[in-house]
Amino acid sequence: MRFEFAMPSSLHKSGVLGMNKRNIDYIGRYNPRKFYKRVDDKLTTKQLAIANDIAVPALIGVVREQHEIEEIPAMVEGESGFVIKPSKGSGGKGILVITKVEGNRYFKPNGQEVTHSEIYRHVSNILSGLFSLGGAPDVGIVEGLIQFDPVFDGYSYEGVPDIRLIVYKGFPVMGMLRLSTAASDGKANLHQGAVGVGVDIGSGKGLHAVQFDTPVDLHPDTNKKLTDIQVPQWDFLLNTASKAYEMCEMGYLGTDMVLDKVKGPLLLELNARPGLAIQIANGRGILPYLNHVDSLGNHNMTVSERVEYAKKHFSHNAES
Amino acid sequence: MHSKKPFYILVALLFISGIAASVFRGIEHNVPFLPGKQVQSWAVDAKVSFQGIGEPAEVSFSLPNDPAFEVLVENASSPGYGLTISQDNQDQERRALWSVRSATGMQNLYYKVTLIPTGTTQVIAKQEPVAPKDFIWPATEKDAAEQVISKVWAKSATNLSFAQQLNKALNAAERTQNVELLLSSNTPTKLFLHMLHSKGVPAQEVSGLYLEDQRRRQQLSSFVEVYNDGEWVLFDPSNGTQGRKDNLLLWDRSGKSTLDVTGGVNSQVNFSMLQDTRSALATSLDVMKNQGALDFSLYQLPLEEQSLFKGILLIPIGVLMVVFLRVIVGLKTSGTFMPVLIALAFIQTTLLTGLIGFILIVACGLMIRSYLSQLNLLLISRISAVIIVVIGIIGIFTLLSYKFGLSEGLTITFFPMIILAWTIERMSILWEEEGPKEVLLQGGGSLFVATLAYLAMSATWVQHWVFNFLGIHLVILAIVLLMGQYTGYRLLELRRFKPLAGDK
């Protein structure tokens, strides 16, 4: 690891947003506390999204009490796979993915079997609030498995690649594709070792890729060139993300979406504190885009007008 | 966007008042800015002795009253005697009054005082002195005195210059015949005083003691104070000097006799003295106690609460450290303020014992926790079980170290059990989810922050400041508020975003 430091002035010149400025000037100012529940509670997000005609992964069931854990096998009968996640979890913690169901036996993506008592303990931990912020009691969500689109075959290792978009005041300003790796244990979280590929807002084409905050060219497990990626249904993704702004009224928002083979783009979750690594994946700072949106002032653009504006001005080819 | 002006005014106010309170405490109350500072003190013993004649005896002895020296402790030992210390507020005179129904033979009375130099050598007059009564010269001296006075008077402009010229004339190498005549029947002090009085210049005789280390059987010397412009200026007519030396203690400024004995003969007073150094902090505390200035100090609390506060007041330092490391440096810690609590425990255990103890407890706890995790327990009962196990581990370690004679091991009980239990729980989950590497990384990071916080909190001057200068906490508050508004890059972000720096 190289221990080199950049000059603050050169980062500033590149428009890099730092953690403190993000917290104070963007999250603190544009994300009202009272709306956090819409984002932090995945069950609420899901219900809001359904009400706003935004497609989400199927909801199989909700576990609210200890005794309801016993009902999980009945809930998932007939499903080919399922996901159990804490409603208020953060950072991808506490998500259990079962990709194969054989009668009464469940298997993780890596083929390992998960026993019933392990599932019981996991859900019990979820309900006790082990994964939620501040240890508040939580509920467990059982979701249908996403049949992920084969377009990313070879780009992702044992996991669902997801598309993160930063939506500022309703404008998608930066995009990133997150690909799981062996190091990330099939999870799409960058700090766990997933690969982030910066995606051009204008076209949905791959730009740069990083793993562990260091630039990479090839996927570490499949050796496919990452910058060749073209995200399909890009406009649809941009529109969905943009719509999420009206839905949760958060000014500085991260949207996580996946591509389902059958259902198309699905909104996975929203994030009121989206990470800063997206800048490294894009090879550029986010501040110029945020300032551009601020300079628009009051406008009455619709969702599709905002997406068109973003595609025109926030593309890497357009020198905005 | 709302204006940030009120915020900055608030921060500035906190900052200024914090600094001002600390400086006031340091200068006005002489609380030393550095711990371990020593000051000089003088222990002076006065021994009053007289011959009793079998009658009721009363001894009146004046006590030191000098702005240049602060009385720290005083006591009088006088077996069989009744003692009162009287204070006359008007002319600031203090006297000790010993009395006994019958005194026969040699009587010894002792007065001991500990004095601290204050550094103020000026004697400010509390009020305008009344004009002295004209001195009536005896017929034999009248002409000589008047000639000398009128000659000196002509050469002077003010009271002060008159006194200066007079002092010079009395001590000139070649004294005039008139002066020689007058000095043959008067002491220089009395003569000087009378000459001033005959011109209506307010002046008084005072007696002082030269403080020199390890001297015994010393006597008071006489001086004259001349009033000039709100201030009493000291003259020594016996050698013609003006002003006072640093080691001169003015014992009696009343102008009356220093020692009055009724019912006894051959009375005398002897002084012996010893120089000593003592802690500047303890000294200033004693002085404040004497003056009743401890009102807004933690020192008026009972000792137990004081030592409690000594610990509590270190927390702001630890918290400041954590805020700095998180906001400015960008380090991650497991549990926001867990490192501060660990650091507080380190203060009791010392660093090395603390680190070893912490790692031992957490390691043992993790092993037992890994068994508990197979039992499918509810979170609450699992944490509770871990707490009980932690208490057991601490108990066993304490007992073992006692058996092996390792007294350091006994301090292990200072670790906060609940925090340890939660740390073990978090680490265990982390281990299951992200592997042992992440456990070492986060655990190590937390211990690193705890060590830094410990180093900051255990510095003796930090401990001295947070307890003695409470204003410093306002300054810390101001800094924490300011850091809460810091929108610049964190130190570690400079490395993280290095690829974006645009190497030009």
pLDDT tens for B307-344 read 888 888 999 999 999 999 988 988 877 777 888 888 88
Backbone angles phi, psi at B83, to 5 degrees: -135, 130
Residue A135 lies in a domain: yes
Residue A297, pLDDT > 60, answer yes
Same domain (yes/no): A138, A162:
no
- Tell me which of A1, A13, A19 to substitute to probe the interface with B (most B C-beta atoms closer than 10 Å): A19
Give the pLDDT of residue A280.
87
Residue A47 lies inside a defined structural domain of this protein: no
Q: Would you state the pLDDT for residue A142?
A: 92
- DSSP-derived secondary structure letter, B133: P
Given a cut of 70, whether residue A83 has pLDDT beyond it is yes
pLDDT of residue A138: 87
Query: What pLDDT is recorded for position B192?
Result: 85
Kindly report the nearest CA distance between residue A61 and chain B, in angstroms: 21
Q: What does the pLDDT average to over B234-244?
A: 84
CB nearest to A18's CB, from B379, B488, B504: B488
State whether B497 and A11 contact (CB < 8 Å). yes
Specify the DSSP element, H or E, that contains B72: strand B69-77
Same domain, A185 and A262: yes
pLDDT at res. A134? 65
Boundary-marking domain end, from A84, A110, A144? A144
Neighbours of B5 (CB within 10 A): 8
What was the pLDDT predicted at A118?
Answer: 86
Q: What's the rounded Cα separation, in Å, for the pair B195 and B169?
A: 12
Q: Which of A4, A7, A121 sits opposite B376 (nearest CB)?
A: A121
- Name the 3-class secondary structure at B307: helix
Question: Regarding predicted confidence, which is higher, B255 or A310?
Answer: A310
> How many CB atoms lie under 10 A from the CB of residue A305?
13
Q: A190 and A290 in one domain?
A: yes
Is A70 at the interface with chain B, CB within 8 A?
no
Residue where a domain stops, chosen among A144, A169, A192: A144
Torsion over CA: B391, B395, B396, B398 (sign): positive
* Rounded Cα distance, A178 and B318, in Å: 38
Average pLDDT value for chain B = 84
| A64 within some domain | yes
Residues B200/B134, Cβ–Cβ less than 8 Å: yes
Asked if residue A181 lies in contact with residue A223, where contact means CB atoms within 8 angstroms, the answer is: no
Residue B251's closest CA among B126, B89, B113? B113
Are residues A291 and A181 both part of a single domain?
yes
pLDDT reported for residue A125: 85
Rounded Cα gap, residues A66 and B206, in angstroms: 92
Among the listed ranges A54-58, B75-79, B90-94, B370-374, which one has the minimum average pLDDT value?
B90-94
Residue A52 forms part of a structural domain = no
Q: How high is the pLDDT of residue B504?
A: 40
Q: A16 and B378: CB-CB below 8 Å?
A: no
pLDDT (average), residues B380-384: 83
Q: Identify whether residues A190 and A238 lie together within a single domain.
A: yes
Q: Is residue A14 part of a domain?
A: yes
Span A273-288, pLDDT tens digits: 888 888 888 888 899 9
Write the CATH number for A82: 3.30.1490
ipTM over 0.85: no
Is A193 part of the contact surface with chain B (CB cutoff 8 Å)? Answer: no
pLDDT of residue B90: 61
Residue A299 belongs to some domain of the structure: yes
Taking the Cβ of residue B371 and every Cβ of chain A, the question of whether any pair is shorter than 8 Å is answered with no
Domain end call among A101, A123, A144: A144
Q: Does A116 touch chain B (CB under 8 A)?
A: no
The whole model's pTM is what? 0.72
Confidence of residue A320 (pLDDT cuts 50, 70, 90): very low
User: What CATH number does residue A28 fall under?
Assistant: 3.30.470.20
B71-84: average pLDDT: 83
Chain A positions touching B378 (Cβ under 8 A) are 66, 124, 128
Residues A235 and A165 in one domain: yes
pLDDT interval class at B295 (50, 70, 90): low
Query: Domain span at residue A118?
Result: 58-144
Find the mean pLDDT for residues B475-483: 93
Confidence of residue B398 (pLDDT cuts 50, 70, 90): confident
Cα-Cα-Cα-Cα torsion B328, B330, B336, B340, nearest 10 degrees, comes to -60
pLDDT band at B217, cuts 50/70/90?
Answer: confident
Count of domains forming chain A: 2
Residue B479 pLDDT greater than 90, yes or no = yes
pLDDT digits (tens, 9 = 90+) for B136-166: 888 888 888 888 888 888 888 888 888 888 8
Chain B, nearest residue to A211 by Cα? B496
Contact B169, B179 (CB under 8 A): yes
Instruction: Specify the pLDDT at position B16.
Output: 93
Which of B380, B384, B496, B504 has the most A C-beta neighbours within 10 Å, making it the best mutation to test the interface with A? B496
Classify A185 in phi/psi space as left (phi over 0), alpha (psi -120 to 50) or beta. Answer: left
Cα–Cα distance for residue pair B453/B197, rounded to 1 Å: 69
Same domain, yes or no, for A103 and A231?
Answer: no
The distance of B15 to chain A (nearest Cα, Å) reads 23
Give the residue from B480, B483, B493, B503 with the most A CB atoms within 10 Å of its CB, the best one to mutate: B493
Q: Residues A85, A25: one domain?
A: no
Q: Are residues A228 and A113 in the same domain?
A: no
In a domain, A178, yes or no: yes
Whether B488 and A192 lie within 8 Å, measured CB to CB = no
Mutation to test the B interface, candidates A12, A16, A117, most B Cβ within 10 Å: A16
Maximum mean pLDDT: which of A69-78, A149-158, B448-457: B448-457
Tell me if A319 is assigned to some domain: no
Q: Looking at the structure, do residues A137 and A226 belong to the same domain, yes or no?
A: no
Distance CA B150, CA B195 (A): 10
Cβ distance of B373 and A121 shorter than 8 Å: yes
Please check the confidence at residue B184 and state whether its pLDDT lies above 90.
no
Residues A243 and A181 in one domain: yes
Q: Token pair of A62, please? A: 């909700």
HEC-encoded secondary structure of A155-224: CCCCCCCEEEEEEECCEEEEEEEEECCCCCCCCCCHHHCCEEEEECCCCCEEEEEEECCEECCECCCCCC
Task: Report H helices in B50-185.
Answer: 139-154, 159-170, 177-185
- A63 and A210 inside one domain: no
Q: Taking CA atoms, what residue in A is nearest to B429? A: A130
- Cβ neighbours of residue A175 under 8 Å, at least 6 residues apart? A163, A164, A165, A166, A198, A199, A200, A201, A204, A231, A278, A282
Q: Give CA–CA dist B363/B24, Å, rounded.
A: 50
